[in-house]
Amino acid sequence: MPIRKSPNNIFVKLLLGFWLCSSLIIALIGLLPLLQQNHDQSELPPHLERLLSKIAHKIIESPQLLQPERLKRFSRFKERDGRPVRLYLVDENSHVLNSHKPSRALRRFMLLADEAGKPIKHQFRDELLFGPYEFTVKGKQYALYGRLPEHHPRPWFFFFIDNKLLTLSIAILLSGLLCGLFAWHLGKPLRSLKSSADELAKGDLSSRVDNATAKRNDEIGQLAQAFNGMADSVEDMVNSQQRLISDISHELRTPLTRLKLSLALSRKKGQQTPEMERIEYEADQLEKMIAELLELSRVKLNANESKRHLELAEALNQVLDDADFEAQQQNKYLHIDIDESIQLPIYPRPLTRAVENLLRNAIRYASSQVTIQASTSAQSLKLEIIDDGPGIPDAADLEAIFKPFYRPQSARDRESGGWGLGLAIAEAAITAHQGKIKADNCQPNGLRVTITLPR
């Protein structure tokens, strides 16, 4: 599958993403002082300017008001709406003439106004200061400032300016949130890719990365396309291999049938010898092995089979009856503990063949008893087949017994160990259900095979 080339790669996304995130946070934090500065230097409203102008003209017209004993007469004034206004008269040396102890807010505002170079207003926590209005009396320079000692709503950004620690915490949290969203955006397709790879590793050859991930224009999209191409090739090769095994097994049946026919004709002609009996025995064994190979191939290809929602006890009914009969013939006891209410979607033929192989294997090696029991959870079904036989001493064999043609050291002879295909068929059938199968030794003796199927 061709890989698209694009400059929209992971490096560019990481660079732009984290750079824009950090730049946005820095810009928001740096904007607060600018907002405060613009607010501090907001122009003096016309009605307040008229108020200061009116008082200044009174002083110009009546210079005697500048006398210390008369300064207090105009220090307090009321607007038309009845709001009290406190006035401050400042000389050219920035001394407040009508107040013995000017407030820190007034001193600060005077500095702000001096920096602004024009009449302004500024909202403190519980007062509004405005001014100055400059005028001249007898060659001396004076300035008027006013204060409205009542609460006025402050702009929202002053909350962040006054609470710097909280602002820093919010900035860190916002930065983490933005980076988290960006990381999630990059991590989501990677999680999808990992999930598809896990499913492929478990044997689901149809697992592919979703189209949304594969259509991305960055390296992740290219990786998804490469993965899908690889999965297609793996599925084709595995299916081809299974079909080849199936085809070879079918082709082997033709000369095998001719061989058995020739043996039958020879027997009719009276040509019965020990060698002929041996050839017939080996031909029967070869036919059984070919049948096992065909079954393994059929289970792995899952041909002509669809899942059906069935009761487990009903699906295994015939297999359990046959196993019980076989156990009785060998003077052994089969204990069945499967609730008839258990239902789940299954491939009936592969599952019954898997359980049949496991039960026959358990009955063969059990000393006196075999148990098959089922338990359920919200997400899965667990089916256990337990025998009281010798088990498998070698721990390495516990994982290898499900491989085709593998037989433990204790089962090398054909009479007891077969060809090592029965457990491989069982493992293939459980894998087709997206389930798991494992074997472990019981205490003090015996073997337990556990099947886990999704519900």
Residue 79 has, within 13 A of its CA and on its CB side, a CA count of 16
Q: Which positions ≥6 away from 138 have C-beta within 8 Å? A: 63
Q: Nearest-CA neighbor of 124 among 116, 142, 112? A: 112
Q: Chain-centre distance of CA 81, in angstroms?
A: 63
| Token pair belonging to 133 | 């209005």
The answer to whether the CB of 370 falls within 8 A of the CB of 334 is: yes
Instruction: Enumerate the active-site residues.
Output: 250
Q: Which residues of 329-341 are buried (b: 16+ CB within 10 A; e: fewer)?
A: eeebebeeebeee
The residue written with tokens 């002053």 in the block is 158
Calpha distance 350→312 (Å, rounded):
13
| Residue 404 burial (CB count, 10 A) | 17
Calpha distance 201→85 (Å, rounded):
82
| Residue 453 burial (CB count, 10 A) | 21
Q: At 120, which helix (H) or strand (E)?
A: strand 120-123
The answer to whether the CB of 341 falls within 8 A of the CB of 348 is: no
Three-point CA angle 385, 390, 394, nearest 5°: 95
C-alpha distances (whole Å) from 46 to each of 52, 82, 94, 218, 298 are: 10, 18, 24, 59, 94
